[in-house]
Amino acid sequence: MFGLDKPSFQHLKGLAFHVGVGVVVSQIRAFAQLYLLGIVVYFIYQIVTKKEKTYYALGAAAYIAAAEIFLRMTKAMPFWELGKYLVIFFMLLGMLYEGFKLKAWPVLVFLLLLLPGVIVSYLNFDYFDQSFRKTILFNLSGPLSLFATALFCYQKQIKFGVLLKIIDLMILPILGMVVYIILYAPPMEQIVFTTESNAATSGGYSGNQVATILGLGMFFTYIRFLIPYKNLLLNLINIGFLGLLTYRCLLTFSRGGLITAILMMLIFTLLFINWASLIRKAKATVKLISLGIGGFLLWGIAMTVTKGLILNRYTGKNALGEEQDITSGRGDILSQELEAFLEDPFLGVGVGMGKFFRIEEEGSNLASHNEVTRMLAEHGILGIVALLVLLLIPLAFFLSKNRNLLMLPFVAFWFLTINHSAMRVALPGFIYGFALLTITYASKPKKKNKTKTASVPRQQAVA
């Protein structure tokens, strides 16, 4: 029943190893630094020595993007933006071996549209207690990691099976992080729940960013729920992990990650049902019914554990049931960024200068949570054009009938995430670039009739 072929056994070993990583790091924090070093050395070796350069380069960047928050919360990174730099490094290493398509010039246009904002910032930067270099890199490292990934992935062909292998690879560090978070958190009866983001259930870190990772993990395990492994044991583990991720995502009390995950699932389900064979549609319908029942039970458990406060959180009420600002203060930042745009509508106030504008005008030093309004404030009209370029690229792919089953869900993740968490982590930029791959699917074998004429192979939606 649980007979394992070699790929299934390798994946099972990977799952067990990452459970071990989560356990060890929770007891010995310094081990996280060794873990990071091992990741970098392992992937560089694989890219340099193995023939499958595209797979290992993408796999390396994907793994780092998925592990970034885990590495940050465990203090493994010697400096804050290292995750984004490593994504850029592995994409450049991939391009060194595999190159990139000249058709990717729209991605270059996006980057060029950001450069005037750097010049404006340089000309106006007079905050002597701040580093100009750090200010620029903090705000542009996310867009730069997006640029590098999009340049490498732009219409690069890979098989659907390879895409699933990369998704499986990204699940692994998320598993390690969940194990760490569970062991880090005090017993549930000792946690004080309010209607604010909960650090205790988020590994002592930002609940917003943790929920973003957990939400993406939910989506990945959902993909493997509808497109199952060949092995029953792996499928059972995957279903359990999907439930665990959903439960832990709820307990962070950060809504963005969960809502984004649910919307991605809906988009993917519509595409999957549309493209799948009749038999797969029937199986998917049964699975979705069971998933709905499971989701209802998980919500009931979360309601019990949080004494009903999770419902208040998602309906925009405080612990007393009174209406409160559903944006958690983000609306104020948004309006201030719109004011900055109106002051300098063409070129903006300059990269990283939005924060200083808010300090001078409103006395608020909060960083932006919305990449769209940050681009509007700091890059002006050119920033909006840059964002439109990013939206038009996948739209053009979609209209040209690019059959990447995950393109629309991935673009949705990028756009929804940058609207509640900006680009503070590498993940949204990487996932956007990842969406630009061209996927090839398995074809039915040719059938020969008595006259030795072969039927035309028909592509299937899933391998």
C-alpha gyration radius of the chain:
23
Instruction: Decide: 366 and 127 in contact? Cβ < 8 Å.
Output: no
Of the candidates 237, 276, 236, 280, which has an alpha carbon nearest to the alpha carbon of residue 405? 276
* Cα-based torsion angle of the residue sequence 347, 350, 353, 354 in order, rounded to the nearest 10 degrees: 30
Instruction: Decide: 139 and 351 in contact? Cβ < 8 Å.
Output: yes
Distances (CA, A) of 439 to 46, 102, 105, 161, 282: 23, 19, 20, 9, 24
State residue 458's pLDDT score.
40
* Cα-based torsion angle of the residue sequence 84, 154, 385, 216 in order, rounded to the nearest 10 degrees: -50
Look at residue 29 and tell me if it is in a domain. yes
State residue 134's pLDDT score.
76
Whole-angstrom Cα distance, residue 250 to residue 258? 7
For the chain, what is the largest distance between any 2 Cα atoms, rounded to a whole number of angstroms? 83
List per-residue pLDDT tens for the chain, 463 residues long: 456 788 889 999 999 999 999 999 999 999 999 999 999 999 999 999 999 999 999 999 999 999 999 999 999 999 888 999 999 999 999 999 999 998 999 999 999 999 998 888 888 777 645 676 777 888 889 999 999 999 999 999 999 999 999 999 999 999 999 999 999 988 888 888 888 888 899 988 988 899 999 999 999 999 999 999 999 999 999 999 999 999 999 999 999 999 999 999 999 999 999 888 888 889 899 999 999 999 999 999 999 999 999 999 998 888 877 787 666 666 777 778 888 788 888 888 888 777 766 666 565 666 677 888 888 888 899 999 999 999 999 999 988 876 788 999 999 999 999 988 878 889 999 999 999 999 998 765 555 554 444 433 344 444 3
pLDDT tens across 45-56, in order? Answer: 999 999 999 999
**At a CB cut-off of 8 Å and minimum separation 6, what does 267 contact?**
408, 409, 412
- Long-range CB contacts for residues 43-51, cutoff 8 Å, separation at least 24: 43/90, 44/93, 47/90, 47/93, 47/94, 47/97
Number of domains into which the chain is organized: 1
State residue 412's pLDDT score.
95
State residue 289's pLDDT score.
95
Look at residue 3 and tell me if it is in a domain. no
pLDDT tens across 332-382, in order? Answer: 777 788 887 888 888 888 887 777 666 665 656 666 778 888 888 888 999
State residue 3's pLDDT score.
64
Look at residue 8 and tell me if it is in a domain. no
Q: Write out the residue range of the structural domain in which residue 408 sits.
A: 15-440
Instruction: Decide: 6 and 12 in contact? Cβ < 8 Å.
Output: no
Whole-angstrom Cα distance, residue 242 to residue 245? 5
Look at residue 447 and tell me if it is in a domain. no
Instruction: Decide: 246 and 402 in contact? Cβ < 8 Å.
Output: no
Whole-angstrom Cα distance, residue 247 to residue 135? 36
Beta-bridge partner residues of 448: 454
Instruction: Decide: 91 and 151 in contact? Cβ < 8 Å.
Output: yes
Whole-angstrom Cα distance, residue 268 to residue 408? 8
Q: Which residue has the tokens 């002051």?
A: 343
Whole-angstrom Cα distance, residue 172 to residue 66? 9
Look at residue 85 and tell me if it is in a domain. yes
- Structure pTM? 0.91
Look at residue 9 and tell me if it is in a domain. no
pLDDT tens across 228-249, in order? Answer: 999 999 999 999 999 999 999 9
Look at residue 148 and tell me if it is in a domain. yes
What φ, ψ does residue 159 adopt, rounded to 5°?
Answer: -80, 150
Say which DSSP state 453 is in.
P
Look at residue 445 and tell me if it is in a domain. no
Say which DSSP state 369 is in.
S
Q: Which residue has the tokens 């690069």?
A: 156
